[in-house]
Structure 1
Amino acid sequence: MRLFKNCLVVLVLCCSSTLAERLYVNDKRFPESKQDLVAIQDALVDHLGKARSATVCIKLNQGSGSGVIVSPDGLVLTAAHVVAGVNKKLTVIMEDGTEYEAKSLGLNADNDAAMLQILDQTDLPFVDIEPKNDSKKPEIQLGDWVFSLGHAGGFDAERGSVVRLGRMVRVAKSTVQSDCKLIGGDSGGPLFDMNGTLVGIHSRVGRVLEQNMHVPIQVFHTYWSQLSAGEFIGSGPFAEKPVPGSGFMGMAVKETASGLEVTQLEPRYPAHIAGIEVGDVILKIDGDEFRLSSELREFMEQSSAGDLVIITYTRDGEEVEEELTLAKR
């Protein structure tokens, strides 16, 4: 089923990413008439509705960023520094406020590109993306008109995503720059050309509001298979590579005939936050049985801060399953 879904995603992207007629105003140094301004306005109005419906807010722990859906089954492109890791549990908020569970897939820590997957959803709104090309260079050109979207400052039900109109001021192979005004919360959001085609993902929000960097879609095409497979690519600076042994649950256990009984919890650490209590008996972690303290110790030596784990335990004879994200030791 996953193979079928991946094939469907590729098919949709290939079929939907067709070259559209270039807006003639792009080839002028500046709008020269009312007609030119109206052409820009009409292009924005024609494509804004579809673009906003696919632009999402991404919630992770106490922070939030933005992203954009690029397939009907919920594949989302965003920035690596927004998700900050692979296989993380996330919440995606649609333009109308609907919330979906999601998990992060792969990321490129060098180029600030990342993917995540909305879980168990179909027929979601999505946008067209710039087609892959042999040169791996952005199709967008210096001076082209573009518009950006993002949940600036976090999700706001009354306001929705925020649109900014601007032009390309720098175009390079691994990064592009626009003068669209972006602030915190916009990171990971989409940059569109005036045909409504996704051409970039917001990366670095500049100290000067008109100086903002975006990851070109060609970077995503280059690493598409690794990102969709959940790989961690590169060594920074946009995400910290997992360090085995750095994960911490915040609980102590002792061996009993029925399993590992929790004897102590650290307040405000993952086990305590997940609702585990002293006296609970740990049976499984990620589906594997744990009976010995040495088994738990070995597991933690291979686990990293930020890992999502599923703990199965018993309380008063009832079996309970909880998810928790490991803290940094």
Structure 2
Amino acid sequence: MKKFGLTLLAAFIGGGIALGTYKVFENKYTDNMTFQEKQKVYFASNPSAPITSSAGEVDFTQAAAAVTPAVVYIRVTYSNTSSNSDQDQLQQLFGNMFGQRAQPQGVQMASGSGVIISPDGYIVTNNHVVEKADKITVNTNDHRTFQAKVIGTDPNTDLALIKVDASNLPIVKFGNSDDAKVGEWVLAVGNPFNLTSTVTAGIVSAKGRNIGIIGNEDNQDNNPFGRSGNQGQPRAANKAIESFIQTDAAINPGNSGGALVNTKGELIGINAAIASHTGSYEGYGFAIPINLAKKVLNDIEKYGAVKRGFVGVSFTQLDPDVAQTLHIDNTTGLYVKDLVHGGGAEAAGIKAGDVITKVDGSPIYESSDLQERVGELQPGDKVHLTVLRDGTEKEFTVTLKADAPPAVRTAAAPSKSAAELFNKLGASFMPLDNSQKAKFHVKSGVIVTQVRPGRLFDDTEIPVGSVITSINKSPIGSVADMDNAITNTRNGLLVISGVYPDGTSFSNTFQVQ
């Protein structure tokens, strides 16, 4: 009995030491974790009762209670100069329709939703909600207010990662969007019409929808698909990836960036668009699958920009009409029209005229079936493609190649708080590693990994690949250094110094507005 007591005491002491050690090192090691790993740590430390559901006894109260605290209301302010006259008319139309007060000339406001995905303040939303923002205000479900800054955006998927300075925030648990089934119940949580914390229910109506909204700036009058954010602008993207989850859960203007969750309270999509001729809900909403979003968000947080791999083919999606035109028997799959020279498909042996019928063993019926799978992977990853050639199936393993280097572009102009000034710069940054320091002959600095159109870096042609070494003569060694530096203006001037990608130095002075 005495031995048992000693053993029990030792177990308690050991457990206490382990817990204490974990708490000491928790912050240190979570900095290097992916969002999925941070979520595992969070839910291991904050266990909750499992949420169950039944089609026979429909009850969404548990799922709604689990998700609502982590869905935020986002308000953005942006200057009228970052929009065109067509957009101004659209903004006025939305304001009149949805009861928003008209804004003074030169200042515009919009709103949307976001989902907290990490306890340390990272929030996912739509690119079209924050892309032009000078100031981003985040209101949480418990009525706290934060200023947020844009960490990075991906116009090709209409996703953005923003961050607030907070800790121990509630988060929504990631689900698996691949497991979502057509016909299953889902909830849409967001802030439509400025009505905060609204939950609507519906089912998954379809998966893998490609509706041609990302980057579709033509024929807007005839296009029934619109953004679900109050900003309501068409977005430009060269290589859009669309594989939306379609739902009949009510999604309205202001829902953009909100959560689409299953009845277990798991995040399976980020609400992004609606099909409507009026601008309001007409029965069809669309969400970005979370499996695609996780890759994009982890890349932005880790690299400052999305690292995307490509198969290296141009193709036509087959249907009976296309098959008849091409004089082929196959009516499903992707007909390879051409190959990128030096691309992964060419190296693997795929040829023009082949029909891609499967990716990693899953049938391809639409282009989104291939795009979503490839969009979840990195350059250097491999995909297995099944190809039909001359009536015979062949298997190929394609190593994804990186895209061409980004165009030399840049970002925006400064104003008040550190977060607002940071957003006006319109760029994303990562600290230099030792090899980059040696290459540019600098002791410290941050490298520009992304530049967003219409912002300060874009206007002044500070391109991707440039190194920022000082701001207002304050040395820059990390992204955190920039917050203090950009608010330390002298006579209203902002001085940014660094090195261009070709090695030449620059020092640009800007008037802070």
TM class by shorter chain equals: 0.5 to 0.7
Q: Is the 8 A contact 2:152 2:305 kept in 1?
A: yes
Identify if the C-alpha distance between structure 1 residues 2 and 58 changes in structure 2 by more than 3 Å, giving closer, same or farther: farther
Q: Indicate the SS of the match to 1:212.
A: strand
- Residue deviations 1:107-154, cap 9 Å, x none? 2212222222222x11111111115xxxxx621110010011111122
Is residue 55 of structure 1 aligned with residue 71 of structure 2?
yes
The one-letter code of the counterpart of 1:117 is K
Normalising by structure 2, report the TM-score: 0.42
Q: Kindly name which structure, 1 or 2, has the bigger radius of gyration based on alpha carbons.
A: 2
Q: What amino acid is the match of 1:310?
A: I
CA distance in 2 between counterparts of 1:175 and 1:221 reads 15
* Matched-pair contact (CA < 8 Å) for 2:51–2:263: no
CA distance in structure 1 between the partners assigned to 2:410 and 2:156 by the alignment: 23
**Equivalent in the alignment of 1:103:** 149
For residues 164 and 266 of structure 2, what CA distance do their matches in structure 1 show? 21
Distance apart, 1:232 and its partner CA? 5.8
Greater helix fraction, Structure 1 or Structure 2: 2
> In the alignment, which of 200, 203, 227 is matched to residue 164 of structure 1?
200
- Give the equivalent residue in structure 1 for 2:158: 112
Give the partner amino acid of 1:111: T
Given residue 58 of structure 2, which amino acid in structure 1 is its aligned partner? I
The residue identity in structure 2 corresponding to 1:152 is P
Do 1:140 and 1:199's aligned partners in 2 also have CA atoms closer than 8 Å?
A: yes
Equivalences for residues 276-295 of structure 1 within 5 A:
none
Structure 1: give runs of 5+ residues left out of the alignment: 26-35, 132-136, 235-240, 250-269, 275-287, 289-295
Q: Is the CA contact (8 Å cut-off) linking 2:149 and 2:164 kept in structure 1? A: yes
Match of 2:282 in 1: 209
In structure 2, list runs of 5 or more residues that go unmatched: 1-26, 78-108, 210-242, 309-405, 418-444, 446-455, 465-482, 496-509
1:187 maps to a residue whose letter is: S
| Structure possessing the higher relative contact order (Cα contacts under 8 Å, 6 or more residues apart) | 1
Query: How big is each residue's C-alpha offset from its partner over 1:138-196, in whole Å with a ceiling of 9 and x where there is no partner?
Result: 21110010011111122x5xxx3111010010112821100011111110000010000
CA distance in 2, matches of 1:58, 1:95: 11
Contact 2:411 2:458 (C-alpha < 8 Å) held by counterparts: no
RMSD value over aligned CA atoms?
4.1
Distance change (3 Å), C-alpha of 1:186 and 1:314: same
8 Å contact 2:189–2:200 — kept in the other structure?
yes
**Map of 1:130 onto structure 2:** 175
What is the correspondence of 1:132-211 to structure 2 with a 5 Å cutoff? 138-154=178-194, 156=195, 160-172=196-208, 174-207=243-276, 208-211=281-284
1:94 aligned onto 2:140: yes
Q: Which residue of 2 aligns with 1:81?
A: 128
What amino acid maps onto 1:149 in structure 2? V
Q: Aligned partners of 2:486, 2:140: CA distance in 1, in Å?
A: 27
The 2-side partners of 1:153 and 1:80 are apart by 19
User: Are the aligned partners of 1:58 and 1:92 in contact in 2 as well (CA < 8 Å)?
Assistant: yes
Say which SS state the counterpart of residue 223 (structure 1) adopts. helix
Other-structure match for 2:462: 302
Mapped to 1, the partners of 2:51 and 2:63 lie a distance apart of: 14
Is 1:231 aligned to residue 300 of structure 2? Answer: no
Deviation at 1:53, TM superposition (A): 0.6
State the distance in 1 between where 2:157 and 2:293 align: 9
Report how many aligned residue pairs link the two structures.
Answer: 246
In structure 2, distance between residues paired with 1:73 and 1:211:
34
User: Could you give the per-residue CA deviations for residues 242-291 of structure 1, whole angstroms, max 9, x where no partner exists?
Assistant: 974675x5xxxxxxxxxxxxxxxxxxxx66x89xxxxxxxxxxxxx9xxx
- Where 1:183 maps in the other structure, the secondary structure is coil
C-alpha spacing 1:40/1:231, structure 2 compared with 1 (3 Å): same
CA contact (8 A) 1:138 1:172 kept: no
Q: Show the counterpart of 2:227.
A: none
**Contact 2:72–2:114 (CA<8 Å) still a contact in 1?**
yes
Q: TM-score, normalised by structure 1?
A: 0.62
Cα distance in 2 for residues equivalent to 1:242 and 1:108: 15
Counterpart Cα distance in 2 of 1:189 and 1:242: 31
Distance 2:458 2:189 in 1: 45
Q: Aligned equivalents of 1:244 and 1:313: distance in 2?
A: 25
Letter in 2 for 1:66: S
Contact 1:106-1:226 within 8 A present in 2 as well: no
Seq. identity, %? 23
